[in-house]
Amino acid sequence: MQRSPLFVTLSLALAALAVAAPATAQVDALPADDGGKTVFDGDWIGIGGAAVYMPSYNGSDDYVLTPIPMVQGSLGGVAINPREGGVVLDFIKDPQDGIGLSFGPSVRLRANRATQIKDPVVESLGKRKRALEVGPNLGFTVPKIFHQYDSLSFGIDAAWDVLGAHKGTVIEPSVTYFTPLSKGIAASLTASAEYGTNSFMDYYYSISPAESLKSGLAPYDAKGGFTHVGGRLLTAIDLDGDLTDGGFSLILIGSYSRMVGQAADSPIVSVRGSANQWLGAVGLGYVF
């Protein structure tokens, strides 16, 4: 996919919706003020972080404030993009014009129900181990949808737990529209979803008879299916008014996702939590 600066893709790392796909902006295609090169020509690195207000677990109605660090860039023609708790590499060099393809490995550490569980009943079910999910990312970007600098991107991640926590597979499709609103402001809108196999759903959403006795929640046997669908809006404001010269950018993020299917029917969501999931974040990025 078309490479994008840190402030455009930061939202992916923050999404509790685990709705992962690159917000593939074409800020690097914007012309510099003097007609020369931009900071995104050749190698570049972006670093940053954000304060994120998000559910304490997927399906919770309790919220926690969490700091998120970030790194992104392009080195030697390999794009480095963030994911929630991880990173994705893109080995396919972007064309100067026309449809761009992306392909590379993704690595993510999933910490759902591993920390910050505020609900004492859900906490009594026991914390879950962190899962390390590894797999391929594949996607493509169509530039110039409505004007010269916008784009529409489609992507899908398929990942397998290699640490033996949930021992399942997760598939995450997404579509993102990106557009600059001015020389110094850019926005992206992403719609995405998450699908988990039987073992994934069982690990995070089932309640065994023993757990039922301990918590008072009814036993529940979750099968494979979609866990949630949602959307996310990100706005990036370059603090010197020019996205193409790097430097500092303010990041504003808002997202909503809806728990669906057997994930939504789980007592940890339907009784102790909520199907409506909100997220807000304010961050700062620096690109050089």
Q: Are 150 and 178 in contact (CB under 8 A)?
A: yes
Q: What type of residue is 160? A: W
The C-alpha atoms of residue 7 and residue 3 are separated, in whole angstroms, by: 12
Instruction: Using alpha carbons, list the distances in angstroms from residue 26 to 98, 134, 148, 209.
Output: 12, 27, 9, 52
In the DSSP assignment, the letter for residue 254 is E
At 208 the pLDDT is 98
What is the structure's pLDDT at 86?
Answer: 85
* pLDDT score at 95: 84
Is the distance from CB of 143 to CB of 97 less than 8 angstroms? yes
Q: What is the pLDDT of residue 210?
A: 97
Highest CATH level, class, for 6-287: mainly beta
| pLDDT, position 17 | 29
Q: Residue 69 burial (CB < 10 Å; 0-12/13-18/19+)?
A: exposed
| pLDDT value of residue 20 | 29
Query: Per-10-residue mean pLDDT for the chain, 288 residues long?
Result: 37 33 40 65 89 97 92 89 84 88 95 96 97 97 94 96 97 95 94 97 98 97 98 94 91 96 98 98 92
Per domain, the residue ranges of the chain are 6-287
H or E element at residue 179: strand 169-180
| 167 and 161 Cβ atoms separated by less than 8 Å | yes
- Is the pTM higher than 0.75? yes
How far apart, in Å, are the Cα atoms of 28 and each of 31, 39, 43, 78, 135?
A: 8, 8, 12, 15, 27
Paired tokens of 162: 């290699």
- CB atoms under 10 Å from CB of 181, counted, come to 11
pLDDT at residue 7, as a whole number: 35
C-alpha angle 189-194-195 in degrees, rounded to nearest 5: 155
Q: Which residue has the tokens 């600066």?
A: 5
Supply the pLDDT for residue 93: 85
CB under 8 Å to 168, separation ≥6 — which residues?
A: 160, 161, 196, 197, 198, 199, 200, 201, 203
Which pLDDT belongs to residue 206?
A: 98
